């Protein structure tokens, strides 16, 4: 398990991303992307300061746009729009690393 | 740690004119060849040449394979890196890339480093009809097939999502077997981790600080050991990053001759990669350098601003105020102007931090902005003769560290580190 994954404190999120890693190994790339997107949405809901001021732009823009992207609803909540359901290896890795790194960085 | 030079072929327009002098592009490319010929003799072991299209002033390097072919005949030892070749098939058909890489490898006696990537500027993507959402999958498909073309006799053909071709024997084949070392451009941390999992070198274009580099090196090598499924037939475990170089005998001179170039590099990079400014660029009609030079100095870092300013400024670059201590202040000033801009002592100190992070390759941007050819030559010579020798002597120690990191890795390795 990559060291960074071990740094995720929340049991449920760590478990989900550990499962995402298993999916990455088995080639189930859509599952990886969905789990990682869900984990990032959870991060945003638990750290509302990430959606305040200029930080908001950063939180949204830095989410990879490789077939899934973040949008902010009029009530301020976030959701992920999937442009397609097929993903390939490098896209899945990108979402996985982004989610793991974001969660570890924000000490979730 | 090894060292290389990075070429965008920047060509700012004259401040007082709408277009360049007629001979400007000719001089730019000929000067770059002279610079690399010198660099080859003073300890720089790599050149990485970008591929960009339509990014006037920021990069006039749209045919890197032609430039690198010329470099191959002007240098003896220097490794010739594509930094990078644009892989989405609408930029370059993968068969044409395979043919060009192999030909360059043959005429250079096996000195090619095959850097791959996608590019992300609106000017380029729109110019070739590439959708941002699809560029990574285009890159992966094209790179996977391109490597097969270099190694299969005959190439078995493909019916992919973005290109298809029947079985053909793609010739010539590269001199290096099974193929030249593979790299991928990584402007984000995530791509470095893609590189590790695919057994590719990571060409880090994010100007990481030594602390960031250290963390990345550790994560990268862990993944190479534990999670690597090579995209090619051999892996190239290696991490490279960029830093801006201007080295003179005093900090004041290094800053005077190098800071504006670094600032323009940042400004023009930000200009083209920010979808708002890059997307509204009027081709052939704008003067980015004039726009840049007429801004107050504190605004010249452009849209990348703070993040770019702090790279390499690990000592005090993040501080807002100038330190009182004279020596620290000199370093702070140099750091504020980015990367390796200072005396040989300052550059040495900066590089030692990266060496301690176990970085494999440091690639310098020496040609940028309106820097003069003479100043670039001076800087290359000074670093090559006064700084690099001790690092080159210590490289064996790094190789031992690296071999330890790769213990147990069973994939074939083809790497020049």
Query: Which candidate in B140, B193, B202, B230 is best for mutational testing of the A interface (most A CBs within 10 A)?
Result: B193
Residue B329: the pLDDT is 45
pTM: 0.92
Provide the strand spans (E) within B124-273: 158-159, 164-165, 182-186, 201-204, 239-247
Residue B275: the pLDDT is 79
Question: How far is residue B150's CA from residue B107's CA, in Å, rounded to a whole number?
Answer: 16
pLDDT digits (tens, 9 = 90+) for A78-87: 999 999 999 9
Task: Report yes or no for ipTM above 0.90.
Answer: yes
Query: Which candidate in B144, B145, B194 is best for mutational testing of the A interface (most A CBs within 10 A)?
Result: B194
Shortest distance, CA A94 to any CA of chain B (angstroms):
5
User: HSE (CB half, 13 Å, CA atoms) of B413?
Assistant: 18
Would an 8 Å CB–CB cutoff place B141 in contact with chain A?
A: yes
Contacts of B132 in chain A (CB under 8 A): 65
User: HSE (CB half, 13 Å, CA atoms) of B391?
Assistant: 30
pLDDT digits (tens, 9 = 90+) for B180-231: 999 999 988 899 999 999 999 999 877 777 888 898 999 999 999 999 999 9
Question: How far is residue B331's CA from residue B313's CA, in Å, rounded to a whole number?
Answer: 8
Shortest distance, CA B95 to any CA of chain A (angstroms):
21
pLDDT digits (tens, 9 = 90+) for A69-108: 999 888 888 999 999 999 999 999 999 999 999 999 898 8
3-state DSSP call for residue B58? coil
Query: Which candidate in B133, B185, B220, B270 is best for mutational testing of the A interface (most A CBs within 10 A)?
Result: B133
> How many residue pairs from chains A and B have C-beta atoms closer than 8 A?
52
Q: Using CB atoms, which residue from A2, A67, A88 is nearest to B140?
A: A88
User: HSE (CB half, 13 Å, CA atoms) of B75?
Assistant: 31
Shortest distance, CA A34 to any CA of chain B (angstroms):
16
Quickly name the fold that domain B2-266+339-409 has.
TIM Barrel (3.20.20)
Shortest distance, CA B170 to any CA of chain A (angstroms):
26
Shortest distance, CA B171 to any CA of chain A (angstroms):
28
Could you tell me the residue ranges of all domains in chain A? 6-105
Q: If you write DSSP's letter for every residue of chain A in order, what string do you get?
A: --HHHHT---HHHHHHHHHHHHHHHHT-HHHHHHHHHHHHHHHHHH-GGGGSHHHHHHHHHTS--SSEEEEE-TTS-EEEEES-S---HHHHHHHHHHHHHHHHHTT-
pLDDT digits (tens, 9 = 90+) for B229-263: 999 999 999 999 988 899 999 988 998 898 888 88
Cβ contact A41:A80 at 8 Å: yes
Sign of CA dihedral B245, B248, B252, B258: negative
Could you tell me the residue ranges of all domains in chain B? 2-266+339-409
Burial of B328 (0-12, 13-18, 19+ CB in 10 A): middle
How far from B335 is each of B60, B61, B307, B341, B372, CA to CA, in Å?
28, 28, 12, 7, 22
Q: Using CB atoms, which residue from A3, A83, A93 is nearest to B194?
A: A93
Question: How far is residue A77's CA from residue B149's CA, in Å, rounded to a whole number?
Answer: 48
Tens of pLDDT along chain B (417 residues) come to 999 999 999 999 999 888 999 999 999 999 999 999 999 999 999 999 999 999 999 999 999 999 999 999 999 999 999 999 999 999 999 999 999 999 999 999 999 999 999 988 999 999 999 999 999 999 999 999 999 999 999 999 999 999 999 999 999 999 999 999 999 999 888 999 999 999 999 998 777 778 888 989 999 999 999 999 999 999 999 999 988 899 999 988 998 898 888 888 888 888 898 878 888 999 999 999 999 999 877 666 555 444 444 433 333 334 455 545 444 444 344 445 557 989 999 999 999 999 999 999 999 999 999 999 999 999 999 999 999 999 999 999 999 999 999 999 999 999 999
Would an 8 Å CB–CB cutoff place B208 in contact with chain A?
A: no
């Amino acid at each position: 398990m990559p060291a960074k994954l071990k740094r995720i404190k929340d049991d449920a999120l760590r478990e989900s991303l550990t499962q995402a890693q298993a999916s990455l190994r088995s080639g189930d790339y859509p599952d990886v992307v969905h789990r990682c997107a869900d984990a990032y949405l959870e991060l945003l809901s638990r750290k509302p300061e990430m959606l305040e001021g200029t930080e908001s732009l950063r939180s949204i823009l830095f989410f990879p746009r490789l077939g899934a992207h973040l949008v902010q609803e009029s009530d301020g909540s976030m959701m992920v729009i999937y442009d397609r359901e097929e993903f390939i290896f490098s896209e899945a890795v990108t979402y996985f690393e982004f989610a793991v790194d974001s969660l570890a960085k924000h000490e979730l | 740690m090894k060292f290389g030079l990075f070429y965008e072929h920047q060509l700012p327009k004259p401040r007082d004119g709408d277009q360049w002098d007629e001979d400007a592009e000719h001089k730019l490319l000929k000067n770059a060849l002279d610079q690399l010929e010198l660099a080859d003799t003073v300890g720089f072991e790599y050149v990485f040449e970008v591929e960009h299209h339509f990014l006037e002033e920021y990069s006039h390097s749209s045919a890197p394979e032609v430039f690198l072919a010329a470099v191959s005949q002007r240098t003896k030892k220097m490794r010739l890196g594509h930094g990078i070749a644009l892989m989405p098939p609408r930029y370059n058909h993968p068969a044409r890339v395979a043919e060009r890489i192999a030909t360059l490898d043959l005429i250079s006696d096996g000195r090619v480093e095959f850097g791959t990537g996608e590019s992300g500027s609106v000017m380029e993507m729109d110019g070739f009809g590439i959708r941002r959402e699809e560029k990574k999958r285009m890159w992966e498909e094209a790179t996977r097939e391109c490597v097969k073309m270099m190694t299969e006799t005959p190439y078995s053909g493909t019916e992919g999502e973005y290109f298809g071709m029947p079985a053909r024997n793609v010739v010539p084949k590269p001199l290096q077997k099974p193929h030249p070392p593979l790299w991928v451009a990584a402007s984000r941390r995530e791509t470095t981790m893609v590189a590790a999992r695919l057994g590719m070198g990571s060409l880090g274009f994010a100007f990481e600080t030594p602390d960031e580099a250290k963390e990345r090196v550790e994560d990268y090598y862990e993944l190479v050991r534990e999670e690597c499924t090579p995209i090619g037939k051999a892996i190239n475990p290696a991490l490279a990053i960029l830093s801006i170089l201007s080295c003179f005998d005093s900090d004041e001179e290094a800053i005077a001759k190098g800071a504006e170039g670094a600032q323009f590099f940042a400004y023009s990079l930000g200009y083209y990669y920010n979808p708002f400014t890059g997307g509204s660029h009027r081709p052939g009609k704008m003067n980015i350098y004039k726009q840049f030079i007429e801004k107050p100095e504190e605004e010249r870092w452009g849209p990348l601003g703070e993040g770019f300013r702090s790279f390499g400024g690990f000592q005090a670059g993040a501080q807002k105020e100038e330190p009182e201590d004279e020596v620290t202040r000199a370093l702070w000033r140099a750091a504020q102007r980015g990367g390796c801009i200072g005396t040989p002592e300052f550059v040495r100190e900066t590089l030692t931090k990266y060496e301690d992070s176990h970085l494999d390759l440091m690639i310098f941007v020496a040609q940028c902005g309106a820097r003069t050819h003479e100043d670039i030559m001076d800087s290359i010579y000074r670093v090559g003769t006064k700084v690099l020798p001790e690092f080159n002597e210590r490289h064996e120690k790094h190789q031992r560290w690296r071999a330890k990191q790769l213990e147990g890795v069973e994939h074939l390795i083809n790497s020049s580190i």
